[in-house]
Amino acid sequence: MGHQRRVLVVAVLSRLAVLVLSAVFHAAFDSYDTSSTVPQPTRTQQLFGGLAHWDGVFMLEIATNGYAYEQFLAFFPLYPLMLRVVSATVVSPVVGAAAVSPSSILVAALLVSNVAFVLAAVVLYNLTYSVTGHKALAEAAALWFCINPASVFFSAAYTESLFALLSFAGMLACYRRFSWVGAVLFSLAAATRSNGLVLAGYLVYYGAASSWTVWHSASPGRGLRLLMVVVTTVAQAGLVAVPFWTFQQHGRRLFCSRPQVESGVAGQQPAWCLTPSMLPYTHVQRHYWNVGFLSYYTPAQVPNLLLGAPALLLAGCFVVGVVRGQWAQLSTLCLGDSRVGRGAWGPSTFVFAVHLAFLALTAATIMHVQVATRFLLSASPCLYWLLAHAVVGDSTADKRSCKGVGSKIGVDRVVASLPTSLIVGYCVTYAVVGTVLFSVFLPWT
């Protein structure tokens, strides 16, 4: 069986395992929080309602009834829109239900999330092989993705799977010089989650790499070519920003153009409408979820901080490894070797490490820290590369090819010193416990 086919099979089996585990515990135990429980659930809701908890409640409600309340603006529109479309065009005709009903929307959510996950696993394999140049490393990274610690969120009514698919596919397109394809995919990612906006950095980086190549060439007309590269890069980065800006304006039109009873005073607009510079998304995150710089660092949140710590530590390990491994090229940001695959620590991974560092810093200082696990694992391939590099084994040619850099920087020794059983235990324990707790509406990452 080939590498990609093996990845495909394991991805499908992993999703089936999550669905079955969730269905069993959702049926066997009452939900801890019953506020979103349907009075007379259908068979579908009885089986898979455990995958529609927490943020999934918002996703399904938006897909069914639109943005009825301002707190819904925390959730970007592409995923709910896809649920509505799939429900009307795929689910309802098959089961004979109403075009948009709670049951059909739930089935659509499971279809979108799980199909996107399987596709994302295959794309991650191809991305890893393109960037590192090693098939064994690529397969191991994709297999780690299949049992990642935040596994339940990739099968639930959450954006993780769709965002991972769009992000990884966009990265692959950019790496293979299909920059406009990458820009479109990143734009769709930005319509899925707010941190999709950061993906424009890949377009800027690879645009800078192209500018570097043009500038150091001796060909005539390089000035005009350089200008074209700059203009194209700016246009592509702007395309990624369009969904974010459009959604913010849509939020203002929804809640600032008419009186809102829910603002607390009948006939009065929400307070944030009076501040033109205030983004609806920023207000909603701060007001309803207490998101802000270091606002989560209180004694009561110590258990949640510990939950997110392993993912942040792994992220730090990868970033330090790439920086130390490419220390001699930091002054040029590895622009001259931006597409040279040399294992998990090669110059081609530099831009990925910078992206991961930004995400990890944001998760550690601004967000609810326990969310870091699913936040990082759905947005960056780097943690999968780190785990793959630690477990592939010295007996393979791929491991020997990329071991040299890792050994020189010391990261290889640190990561490889962790027993494989410990790494697998971390992933499987988080995946299983998370699926069980999430399915009975108990908090997890």
pLDDT of 326? 86
Q: How many CB atoms lie within 10 A of CB 55?
A: 15
Closest by alpha carbon to 426, among 346, 339, 308? 308
Give the residue ranges of DSSP H helices in 37-178: 43-48, 55-65, 78-86, 92-95, 102-132, 135-146, 160-175
Q: Which pLDDT score is estimated for 5?
A: 94
Question: Environment class of residue 163 by beta-carbon count within 10 Å: exposed (0-12), middle (13-18) or buried (19+)?
Answer: buried
Q: Which pLDDT value is given to residue 57?
A: 94
Instruction: Return the percentage of the chain with pLDDT > 90, whole number.
Output: 66
343 neighbors 137 (Cβ within 8 angstroms):
yes
- pLDDT attached to residue 416: 57
Statement: residue 350 has pLDDT above 80: yes
Q: Say what percent of the chain tops pLDDT 70.
A: 87
Confidence check: pLDDT of 124 > 90? yes
* CA distance linking residue 413 with residue 402, whole number of Å: 13
Structure-model confidence comparison of residues 327 and 259, the more confident one: 327
Q: What's the mean pLDDT in 396-418?
A: 46
pLDDT, tens only, 35-76: 555 545 677 888 899 999 999 999 999 999 999 999 999 999
Half-sphere exposure of 394 (CA within 13 A, CB side): 7
**Among 83-97, 127-141, 354-368, 416-430, which is the least confidently predicted range?**
416-430
Answer yes or no: are the C-beta atoms of 350 and 333 closer than 8 Å. yes
What CA–CA distance (Å, rounded) separates 50 from 155? 11
SS (H, E, C) the chain: CCHHHHHHHHHHHHHHHHHHHHHHHHHHCCCCCCCCCCCCCCHHHHHHHHHCCCHHHHHHHHHHHCCCCHHHHHCCCHHHHHHHHHHHHHHHHHHCCCCCCHHHHHHHHHHHHHHHHHHHHHHHHHHHHHHHCCHHHHHHHHHHHHCCCCHHHHCCCCCHHHHHHHHHHHHHHHHCCCHHHHHHHHHHHHCCCHHHHHHHHHHHHHHHHHHHHHHCCCCCCHHHHHHHHHHHHHHHHHHHHHHHHHHHHHHHHHHHCCCCHHHCCCCCCCHHHHCCCCCHHHHHHHHHHCCCCCCCCCHHHHHHHHHHHHHHHHHHHHHHHHHHHCHHHHHHCCHHHCCCCCCCCCHHHHHHHHHHHHHHHHHHHCCCHHHHHHHHHHHCCHHHHHHHHHHCCCCCHHHHHHHHHHHHHCHHHHHHCCCHHHHHHHHHHHHHHHHHHHHCCCCCC
Average pLDDT in the 75-90 region?
96
Could you give the count of Cα atoms lying within 13 Å of 289 in the half-sphere of its Cβ? 21
Is the per-residue pLDDT at 403 higher than 60?
no
pTM of the model: 0.92
Segment among 56-65, 93-102, 181-190, 361-370 with least mean pLDDT:
93-102
Q: Using pLDDT thresholds of 50, 70 and 90, give the confidence band for residue 415.
A: low
Yes or no: say if 199 and 169 are a contact pair by the CB < 8 Å rule: no
Q: Nearest-CA neighbor of 174 among 80, 111, 239, 86?
A: 239
- Among residues 45, 129, 3, which one has the least CA distance to residue 439? 45
Residue type, 100: V
The stretch 150-167 carries a mean pLDDT of 98
Check whether 196 has a pLDDT greater than 50: yes
What six digits make up the tokens of 87? 């429900």
Cα 280 to Cα 72: distance, rounded to the nearest angstrom? 10
